[in-house]
Structure formats: C-alpha cells, structure tokens
C-alpha cells in the first residue's frame, strides 16, 4: 500500500509470528511506505519509528533523516495523470524514508549506508518508474 496505512499491521503480524519462536532472532527488511512529515492518509515516518521501537525492536535507520526513495512516474506508465516532467522530479517526485530493517532489540546496527550503485556509494538522482 503506497501510503503505508497497512504497515503497522504487517509489523504487528510479524511480531506475533516471531513470538512463536522465542529462541530465534528477528531480522526483517521492510518497505514501510513511510513519509516525511504528517499528512492525513499517509504513514508518517516518525509514527512508524515510534511504533516499532514501542514494540521493542531495533530499527535501522533509527531516524528518518534521509530519503531511501527518489522516484517519479514517467509518461510511459499507463497512469498518465501521475506522470511528472523530468524538470519537476525533485519537486514533485516521491522522495521519502520508506525502507527499514527491523531486528531483535539485543542487536545493534554497526554501520548504515545508502547504496544505489552496487559500488558502496549513493548517487542522489531520480529513478524513473
């Protein structure tokens, strides 16, 4: 769900399943579809982070400081009404902190980095969809 409204329920379901295996440790990558700021009908990243840490999970990144998504629909999509001209991609595109890793609270994230190249570096550029 693009606006993240089902995300907390998914996390709750994963937690319920994990409770059946107390001898195991949880590590779970999730596209939370969280967003900067607050807007009705969208999951705010701060609310998501409060929810998962309230359940006792560690989470990386631990704060929604940088976007993990930067994309814009092109005119090649069937939903032309959602297309964005390239010159307006930075302004109108989807640029939000959507991706997280949840893990058992006795773990710690040693290093967190964004990489969209495969070369251990990050290029801040729009990804057409």
Kindly give the residue spans of alpha helices, DSSP state H, lying in 1-129. 7-18, 45-54, 89-92
| 107-115 own/partner pairs: CB under 8 Å, 24+ apart | 107/25, 107/27, 107/58, 108/58, 109/58, 109/60, 109/61, 109/62, 112/60, 112/61, 114/66, 114/68
Cβ atoms 79, 17 nearer than 8 A = no
pLDDT of residue 58: 92
Tokens of 114: 């964004």
Tens digit of each residue's pLDDT, the chain (129 residues): 889 999 999 999 999 999 999 999 999 999 999 999 999 999 999 999 999 999 999 999 888 888 888 888 888 877 888 898 888 988 888 889 999 999 998 888 888 888 888 999 888 887 766
pLDDT of residue 43: 96
pLDDT of residue 123: 84
Distance CA 78, CA 83 (A): 9
pLDDT of residue 129: 62
Cβ atoms 41, 2 nearer than 8 A = no
Q: How far is CA 103 from the centre of its chain?
A: 15
pLDDT of residue 128: 65
């Amino acid at each position: 769900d693009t606006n993240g409204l089902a995300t907390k329920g998914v996390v709750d379901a994963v937690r319920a399943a994990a409770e059946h295996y107390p001898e195991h440790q949880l590590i779970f990558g999730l596209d939370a579809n969280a967003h900067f700021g607050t807007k009705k009908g969208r999951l705010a990243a701060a609310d998501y982070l409060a929810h998962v840490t309230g359940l006792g999970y560690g989470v990386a990144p631990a704060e929604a400081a940088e976007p993990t998504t930067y994309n814009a629909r092109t005119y090649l999509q069937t939903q032309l009404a959602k297309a964005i001209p390239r010159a307006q991609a930075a302004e109108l595109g989807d640029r939000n902190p959507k991706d997280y890793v949840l893990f058992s609270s006795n773990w710690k994230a040693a290093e967190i980095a964004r990489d969209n190249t495969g070369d251990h570096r990050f290029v801040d550029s729009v990804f057409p969809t």
